[in-house]
Every structure is written in structure tokens, then in C-alpha cells.
Chain A
């Protein structure tokens, strides 16, 4: 436990000293979402219908963009080897690293989402659902994405490759996340979507650290 709190503290300190990285992904999120009205036109009704989906797609892309930071720097400077050689079970410290990554790259997206929602004319209740869906969905994105990040460590063109590996796996999260907001807009309710999203999160939390541990072993050999 001591080792995990040390790891979390280290990750957060590093993120604080490299605020620029997290901010870049956040601005990317804002810009992508803001491009859609320019592409499809300013019709408020259309934008209101699209809002949830657009914010979710933008969040997905921003989450994917930040995956590179998860293991690459530690791999390059030898820290990853040292982590693997600690007596702590890899599943535990991997979960810790992913948690830290989500705190740094996922939470800002959730906090920024209402601002983007307002651009698309979402109401207060709809914004709340949007935030809930992101709160349940972005950790799942970090967990699933970690597998791709671990498998592509040190490969040429790793960034593009990660997107090819990870985006198809993100489909269920996108469907239920954006679906929750749509449910709120259409009045059909979003509980079912949010529960399914929660289910995916639990499943991802239980399975992905093992897959990431295996992937890191493969990549580090």
C-alpha cells in the first residue's frame, strides 16, 4: 500500500510539473467539439440532438491522445523496468498508474464537458447526465486504452497504431455514454445506459490490469 501511495504521489507530482501535457489534451477536446457546429451548421435543434454524441466522440479522441503518456516516458528512462522488478504485484501498481492517468487526463474532461454541452444547448439535467456518463466512461477508456499503450511501447508509429487497436474496443463505451445523453434528451431515461456503462467499467477494472501486465511483459522483453 505504501508503494502504491508513493506511486500515485510520484505520478501526480510529475503531472503537476508537466501541466502542459494534460492541458494540450484538454484543449484538443474543446477544439474538436467546437469544430462540429462549424461543420454541420448552427441550427440549434440539430446541435442539441448531436451534442451528447459530439462531446463523447471528442472525449474519446482526447483520451486516446493522452494514452502515449501512460507508459512511454517510464519505458524510455528505465522506470518501467524498475517498477516490474518491485515486489509489489504488477496488477496493483498498474491499476495505480491507470488511476493516476485518469485523474490527470480523464477528470479534466469531465469538468470541461458542461462548458461544451452548453455550446450545444444541453439543459441542466442533460448536462448532469453527460457528466455522469463521462464519470463512468472515462475510467473505462483509460483502462482499455492502457492495453493498447502497453502493446505498442517503443514501436515506430506507435501513436497511430494505438488508435487502430483501441478505437474499435471503445465502441461500447461510446454507444452507452452517448446513449445516456440521448436518453435524457429524448425523455426515454438514461438509467439503463448508465448501468451498462457501470458494468463495463467494473468488467474493465477487473480484467484489464491483468491484460496490461501481460502486455508490458511482452513489450519489455
Chain B
């Protein structure tokens, strides 16, 4: 269970939000909404532990995330603006190493299977440099298939994806939620996950 209490975020001299509360339980999807510059990305980075809140506290199963960092990060996966895909490595190497670094080594076949599922089966060994923007984001999203993390924090996961990939990601979200996972995400596109009514968090 992820909880945020009276969070405040100040960037430079601007107070983006203050006194923000949210809670996210098992099987729940939390949509963070708001205009550009309202602090959606800052909130997600705060929830990850990348950004210290100016005020307030975020807790994971009742414990402040700063004091249970290792356990929290082992249980969490973050998908940010930059896809963390190295241009000089192939799609396979990128995903393989990303999983190893995050501490959930996956077998060769699992990695290949995940890339295949996201429609990258034919360019496993191409350097990521030759992939399109959308394809790179798919490489990064393929982590979601392999991770065992219960909490997914996704910042604009649907940008630059085609229709087919959109459906894949949405069904991926559905499976994860059905297993009792938690998802916090921002998007400018409508998200429809079968059988789940998303909670929303509006930033003004």
C-alpha cells in the first residue's frame, strides 16, 4: 500500500502543489491528471524517491520510503520520460542488462519473448540507434513483462506508441492489476483497462 500525506512540491520559486494526499492499494490504478507544468512528473519522481518532497511524507506499507529504500526499490519499477535505452547496445542487450541491474535477471528466452510480445522480435540484435522513437519506448516497456515489482510508476507510457502497442500496454496493465499489482500513471491519452475503474488525482 502506497500512501502520500500532505505533499508539497516547490520547483525554483514556484509551488507546484501543496497538501496533496493520495493512497494506492492493491489492484488499484491511480491516474495523475493535470495540465502541462502542473507537477505530474515531479509527483511521480517524488513517489519514486528521486525527488525529496518539500513537505510531507510518502510511505510504503506504512514505512517512510526513505527508511526502507532497498525493499521499496526492489518492489517498484519506474518508467520515465527518457527511456534509458543505450543507443550503442542492441535491443536485447538493453533489456537484458536493464533487468540484471534492477536485480531480476531473466533468461535469454524470457528477454526475447518479452521483446517479441511487444513486436520487436525482428530487431533483437539491431543497435538501438537504428530503432525509431516508438520502438525504443517499447524496449523500455518490455521491462514491465519481466519485472516482479508490484508497484509500477509510469510517466506518459503511451506517448509515441502506435495503436497496436497501445492495446498491448493496456492489456499488460490489466493483467498486472488483476494479480493485485498497483499502477500510478500519467497520460494525456484516455486509458481503458478492462474491469478496473481508475482513481484519479487532479493537479491544478
Contacts and interface: CB of A to CB of B under 8 A. Distances in A.
Are A and B direct contacts in the complex by CB distance below 8 Å? yes
Majority SS at the chain B contact face: loop
Interface string B59-87: 00000000000110110101011111111
Interface in A51-102: 76-79, 81-89, 93
B84 A87 contact: no
Given A2-B100, A85-B76, A86-B103, A77 B89 contact: no
B85 A77 contact: yes
Interface stretch (B28-36, B46-54, B181-189): B46-54
B80 A78 contact: yes
Contact of B50 (A13, A89, A220): A220
A50 to B, nearest CB: 40
Contact size range, B: 20 to 34
Give the interface centre of B49, B50, B85, B105 by most chain A CB atoms within 10 Å: B50
B196 interface: no
B80 A81 contact: yes
A130 B85 CA distance: 40
A164 interface: no
Interface of B: 48-52, 70-71, 73-74, 76, 78, 80-89, 93, 97-98, 100-103, 105
Interface of A: 2-3, 6-7, 9-10, 13-14, 17-18, 76-79, 81-89, 93, 220-221
Given A6-B97, A6-B105, A78-B84, 20 more contacts: A2-B100, A13-B88, A13-B89, A14-B86, A17-B89, A18-B88, A76-B82, A77-B83, A77-B87, A78-B80, A78-B81, A78-B82, A81-B50, A84-B50, A86-B103, A87-B71, A87-B74, A87-B103, A221-B51, A221-B52
28 contacts: A3-B103, A6-B101, A7-B101, A10-B93, A10-B97, A10-B101, A13-B88, A13-B93, A17-B88, A76-B82, A77-B82, A78-B83, A79-B86, A81-B50, A81-B80, A82-B78, A82-B98, A82-B101, A85-B48, A85-B49, A86-B103, A87-B71, A87-B73, A87-B74, A88-B103, A89-B70, A221-B50, A221-B52
